[in-house]
Structure 1
Amino acid sequence: MAGSRADKLARLVRVQRQIERMAENDLSDTMRVQAATDATQQALVDAVGSFDPVHAAMSHHYALRFQKLSARSQQLAGMKSVQERRVLTEKTKADRLETQAAEAAEGEERVAADETLLDLLEASLAAHTTGTRPA
């Protein structure tokens, strides 16, 4: 497992981006369920407001169902806010890792360029001391 720091950080960035996508998927699922709950609540409100005698007979059941859906909607709203914060946290982590990976890659490139220049300088100095010119 001999890899450079930049390679390791790049792998971490990919993993962190995957975690970010998973958090986004969780958030989208919660939003989908919340939308379905809101639609069901709206349908119950429409049914209670209807003049149909069947709906009038079921109004007590509709009220109980609406109460449960309201509690579920509040629970989903709390979950949504927690998941939004999680998505933001994971995105921030991934962005920071990406910055660190870029800086590590730049550092490695700079070290490689410096080593190349030092090798060239050493070759030039060795050729100069022997009295020959480098090719």
Structure 2
Amino acid sequence: MAESRSEKLARLVRVQRQIERMAEFELSHTLRQQAETEATQDALVAAVGSFNPIHAAMSHQYAQRFQRLSARSQLLQGAKAVQERRMLTEKTKADRLSEHAEKAVEAEDRLSTDETLLDLLDASLQRRGSD
């Protein structure tokens, strides 16, 4: 069964929108991880600044943990930038495909209308020719 160009483009638009949603999901996951990392860093800073003797004894471990979290935060920041660009790219692709699909529908509608008008004209000319 042959699909029209507009149907193929509509299917591609749906696929591209799904890819866009996947990119958004990945970005939201990264943002959640970044928020968790920042919350953990804030908790570590509060613990190091605490006057509790247990925290004072663990200050070296807290500092190492904070250093690892800082490195992770930088990695997540880079991943966030990449994912934002990817999401924008996928959205742009989907928007362009959507525009092409709309133009294809318009062209098919115009062609269908033209064919209908030509059929009416042929029928009218045949009727006049037989009179």
TM-score by length of 1: 0.96
**2-side partners of 1:67 and 1:42: how far apart?**
13
- CA offsets 1:51-99 (integer angstroms, 9 cap, x no match): 0111111101000000000000000000000000111000000000000
Does 2:5 correspond to 1:5? yes
Task: Give the C-alpha shift of residue 129 in structure 1.
Answer: 1.3
Q: Which residue of 2 aligns with 1:73?
A: 73
**2-side partners of 1:124 and 1:2: how far apart?**
32
**2-side partners of 1:10 and 1:51: how far apart?**
63
**2-side partners of 1:85 and 1:61: how far apart?**
36
**4+ residue runs of structure 1 moved beyond 6 angstroms?**
none
- CA offsets 1:18-41 (integer angstroms, 9 cap, x no match): 000000000000000000000000
**2-side partners of 1:91 and 1:75: how far apart?**
24
Aligned residue pairs total: 131
**1-side partners of 2:115 and 2:60: how far apart?**
82
Equivalent AA in structure 2 for residue 51 of structure 1: F
**1-side partners of 2:2 and 2:20: how far apart?**
27
Task: Give the C-alpha shift of residue 46 in structure 1.
Answer: 0.2
Q: Which residue of 1 aligns with 2:87?
A: 87
Q: Which residue of 2 aligns with 1:34?
A: 34
Q: Which residue of 2 aligns with 1:48?
A: 48
Equivalent AA in structure 2 for residue 23 of structure 1: A
Gaps of 5+ in 2: none
Q: Which residue of 2 aligns with 1:21?
A: 21
**2-side partners of 1:2 and 1:40: how far apart?**
57
**1-side partners of 2:45 and 2:65: how far apart?**
11
Gaps of 5+ in 1: none
